[in-house]
Amino acid sequence: MAHRLAKFVRKLVQIFRLKLKHPRNRAPTPNRAHKSEQPPPFVADEPRAEMRLDDQTSTKYHFASSSTLLAILDDVESSYDFQKTQKVVKAALRYDPSWWSESFNTQWVKQHERQLNACQALSQIFLFHDDGFLRQMALERLASPLNHPFVAYGLGLRLNDWVPEIRRVAKITFDRCYASTPPEIWEEALWHLLPRSTEWRRWFMQQKHEEVLYSAAANRQEQLQGLVSRLAASRSSGSTTMFRLLARSPNFDRFLPDLALGACQPHVRTLALVSIMEREARWSTGKFERVWHDKVFGRYQDKEIWRTRPLTLDVDIVPILTASLHDRSSLVRRRALDLLTRRRDEDELKPLVQKTLVDLANDPNPAVQGRLDFLRRSQQPGFKI
């Protein structure tokens, strides 16, 4: 026991000596030159060097002039990743951590406040500031209409801000700027905002802003038309999420036939076909409910909650289903065969069943052939499942 205690004491002495040797724990002496703790001076007219969107190596920043901060918006292209741009903007507004101190942090915020008071256009950039008071000031001074998609994107992010007061101000600013902002500006911003909004939870707590962005996406016909055109041409993995979000609005129903026939992504064509055949739109609420299998042994499953609404579209399903059965993607063909098999006894689809058995007899996909065999056997007399 005494041996273990002595070993423990020696270990503590060793750790204490290592801490004393650390430069941060040594007191400066007159004979040792040490680094000054004063922050770098503010130079208002000196532009920040090489502060562009592709600059991922700069880690130290001096105070930037207003023109330098506003120049960031000129580097944002419509097809650029807004999340990557947001990181660059936040890095440009953040103080240098190597100079961190409580007094310097206050000085940094006060300097940015003076810049915002002198140049109201900086409110477009200060939407991404780390300080909540400056974000609120930026929201209150944001000029309407918005002239850049990245600014509209920042306004949408503030609806999910971690400060409740800022979320309330953001909702007021959103209502003030939405109507006067051109649809093409919101189209670009909503294309980046809507997929991210499925993960937001803060606005569900107090303000009930759940339908703010979703209603904004579907209120204007030009804006909705632009989002659907992007959805039809998109090759990204988030296309199905965007489809589910837009499907909440009845205004989206008239675009379903075009998406079922001409969308680039097979998943989007499949979702549009299923919505038309089942005559309902379906989307996830982002919430889960616990389904118990055995409470005694604590066995349960978290089941996702979905919502549905009936379609307001009356369209002939035979041409759309026929085109889907001959789609270039086996995923669409398999789903179309499933829907045809489920409704094989309907009079309007019986001729299509016989035609499909002949046309797809040489389909190279094994899953399609398996569905065709079941469909062929279901047409024989006395068939039972």
Q: What is the pLDDT of residue 30?
A: 42
On the question of pLDDT at 57 being above 50, the answer is: no
Q: What is the pLDDT of residues 191-206, one digit of tens each?
A: 888 888 777 766 544 4
Question: For residues 144 and 148, what is the distance between their CA atoms, to the nearest angstrom?
Answer: 11
Domain locations along the chain: 45-219
Question: For residues 136 and 332, what is the distance between their CA atoms, to the nearest angstrom?
Answer: 48
Q: What is the pLDDT of residues 182-191, one digit of tens each?
A: 988 888 888 8
Global pTM value:
0.75
Task: Return the higher-pLDDT residue of 70 and 141.
Answer: 141
On the question of pLDDT at 103 being above 70, the answer is: no
| Band of residue 329 on the pLDDT scale cut at 50, 70, 90 | very high
| Band of residue 385 on the pLDDT scale cut at 50, 70, 90 | low
Cβ of 159: how many Cβ atoms within 10 Å?
Answer: 22
Cβ of 31: how many Cβ atoms within 10 Å?
Answer: 5
DSSP state of 27: P
DSSP-H helix ranges across 234-296: 239-246, 256-262, 266-278
Q: Average pLDDT of 46-66?
A: 44
Phi, psi of 141 (to 5 degrees): -105, 5
Cβ of 288: how many Cβ atoms within 10 Å?
Answer: 12
What is residue 5's three-state secondary structure?
A: helix
Q: Average pLDDT of 212-240?
A: 85
Task: Return the higher-pLDDT residue of 16 and 349.
Answer: 349
- For the chain, give the percent of residues with pLDDT over 70: 78
Q: Average pLDDT of 368-373?
A: 94
Cβ of 41: how many Cβ atoms within 10 Å?
Answer: 8
Q: In this structure, are residues 154 and 189 in contact, taking their beta carbons and an 8 Å threshold? A: no
On the question of pLDDT at 355 being above 90, the answer is: yes
Phi, psi of 328 (to 5 degrees): -70, -20
Q: What is the pLDDT of residue 195?
A: 84
On the question of pLDDT at 324 being above 90, the answer is: yes
| Band of residue 140 on the pLDDT scale cut at 50, 70, 90 | very high
298: left (phi over 0), alpha (psi -120 to 50) or beta: left
Burial (0-12, 13-18, 19+ Cβ within 10 Å), 241 = middle
Q: What is the pLDDT of residues 167-178, one digit of tens each?
A: 889 989 998 998
What is residue 37's three-state secondary structure?
A: coil
On the question of pLDDT at 298 being above 60, the answer is: yes
Task: Return the higher-pLDDT residue of 58 and 268.
Answer: 268
On the question of pLDDT at 100 being above 70, the answer is: no
Question: For residues 379 and 383, what is the distance between their CA atoms, to the nearest angstrom?
Answer: 7
**Mean pLDDT score across all residues of the chain:** 79
Task: Return the higher-pLDDT residue of 129 and 200.
Answer: 129
On the question of pLDDT at 102 being above 90, the answer is: no
Question: For residues 214 and 219, what is the distance between their CA atoms, to the nearest angstrom?
Answer: 9
Burial (0-12, 13-18, 19+ Cβ within 10 Å), 205 = exposed
Q: What is the pLDDT of residue 34?
A: 38
Q: Find, among 95, 99, 137, the residue nearest to 115 by Cα.
A: 137
Burial (0-12, 13-18, 19+ Cβ within 10 Å), 156 = buried
| Band of residue 24 on the pLDDT scale cut at 50, 70, 90 | very low
Q: What is the pLDDT of residue 218?
A: 78
Q: Average pLDDT of 259-283?
A: 94
